[in-house]
Amino acid sequence: MSTEVKAPPTNRSGGEKSAEPAFRKRKASKTPIFLILPTIIILLAALGYPVIWQFITSFQKFGLKQQFGVAPEFVGLGNYIELVSNPELWVILGRSLLFCLLCAASTVAIGGLLALLMKRVGTVARLILQVSMLLAWAMPVVAAMTVWVWLIDWRRGVLNWLLVQFGIDAQGHNWLADPVTFFVIAMIIVVWMSVPFVALSIYAGLTQISGEVLEAAAMDGATGWQRTRLIIMPLIAPVLSIVLLLQIIWDLRVFTQVKLLQDAGGVANETHMLGTYIYQLGVGSGDFGTASAVSILMLILTVAISWYYVRSLMKEEN
């Protein structure tokens, strides 16, 4: 990427230097607003409207008829009451939460360990690991899912062949037929996809740590573990908390992977998570009122889960 920049006209020479602070103060009050204006406009246009629509729709009976122009009927909390008295929602909610927490925790743990490993090995080994991470990260979700479905194919997939080589009788076993193994497979795939981003982000954080500080600590007699715990950990803590927060949010709304595994032979009704449940309600059954209510619940849940992190991140903004 070119970083060529044209030198701006030098309209302020040394003589004006004494006026500099006042100028900056005046400028500081307006410049940032112009800087964030484009962000605000695009977010309001593309996300603000849909969220408001969704919020309103969650209080309406909005089914197939409304798709053809019949005015929606206001039902207050009707959709929500219907939902919370339905045990199916609670099962799906529990399943999604468990899946999300297991995935996010494993992803950050593995990613962190791999980042430390990258720091610990020689250039060649590090580059090999980084390139393999980049390749996995670069895979488009739909392409990656297609390969994974082929890897776990019950007739001729590599997974079953490999298990047979290790003496496990997996010949012809369909891992997607049982909800438990379905989720183990889904988890492996989601973690496989997510770790590269986490590992490379944490590694980038590690490279920002000055080598001199670590050398000084080593000279003062700090062991490797002490250096990791007392210097590296506090310095990369912000990176760690941000990637953990993002993983939790992304894993809670995981959709494409579950959907494509369901298409490949999973039992849809027993493997729904929040994302696919909303899709099923909205696109499958045309019940947009209930689908919007689940979406709002999902949003509230996401905010609740991450509230502690958001608060601690905001504290850093002081």
Question: Would you call 37 exposed, middle or buried from its count of C-beta atoms within 10 A (0-12, 13-18, 19+)?
Answer: exposed
CB of 114 to other proteins, least distance (A): 7
- Interacting positions 144-183 with other proteins (CB under 8 A): 144, 146-148, 150-151, 153, 156, 158, 161
CB of 19 to other proteins, least distance (A): 12
Shortest Cβ 264–other proteins spacing (Å):
8
Q: Which of 210, 226, 269, 285 binds other proteins (CB under 8 A)?
A: 210
**Under DSSP, is residue 286 helix (H, G, I), strand (E, B) or coil?**
coil
Q: Which of residues 233-262 bind other proteins (CB under 8 A)?
A: 239, 242, 246, 249, 252-253, 255-256, 260
Q: How far is the CB of 123 from other proteins (least distance, A)?
A: 10
What secondary structure does DSSP assign to 204-244, as a single string?
Answer: HHHHTS-HHHHHHHHHTT--HHHHIIIIIHHHHHHHHHHHH
Task: Give residue for tokens 């696919």.
Answer: 276
Residue with smaller CB distance to other proteins, 149 or 183: 149
Binding span for other proteins by CB under 8 A among 8-16, 69-77, 78-86, 176-184: 8-16
Q: Which residues of 98-137 are buried (b: 16+ CB within 10 A; e: fewer)?
A: ebbebbbebbbebbbebbbebeeeeeeeeeebbeebeeeb
Sign of the C-alpha dihedral, residues 41, 44, 45, 47? Answer: positive
Sites for other proteins among residues 109-148 (CB under 8 A): 114, 117-118, 120-122, 124-126, 128-144, 146-148
Per CB under 8 A, contacts with other proteins among 187-206 are 192, 195-196, 200, 204
Nearer to other proteins, 267 or 310 (CB): 310
Q: Least Å distance between CB 102 and other proteins?
A: 19
Question: What is the smallest separation between the CB atom of 140 and other proteins, expressed in angstroms?
Answer: 4
> How far apart, in Å, do the first and last CA atoms of the chain sit?
34
Nearer to other proteins, 23 or 90 (CB): 23
Q: Which residue has the tokens 């049982």?
A: 178
Nearest to 189 by CA among 229, 142, 244: 142
Please say which residue, 24 or 229, places its beta carbon nearer to other proteins.
24
Q: Which residue, 142 or 230, has its beta carbon nearer to other proteins?
A: 142
**Residue choice 22, 87, 212, 221 for contact with other proteins (CB under 8 A):** 212
| Site residues (CB under 8 A) for other proteins, limited to 41-80 | 42-43, 45-47, 49-51, 53-54, 57
Q: How many residues bind other proteins (CB under 8 A)?
A: 107
Q: Which residues pair with 74 in a beta bridge?
A: 60
Closest by CA to 301, choosing from 120, 94, 160, is 94
Residues between 10 and 39 with contacts to other proteins, criterion CB under 8 A: 10-12, 14, 24, 28-29, 31-36, 38-39
Site string for other proteins, 272-301 (x = CB under 8 A): --xx--xx--xx----x--xx-xxx-xx--
> What string of DSSP letters covers 6-48?
PPPP----GGGGGGHHHHHHHHHTTHHHHHHHHHHHHHIIIII
**Of residues 139, 140, 126, 104, the one with CA closest to residue 309:** 104
313-to-83, 194, 310 alpha-carbon distances in Å: 33, 22, 5
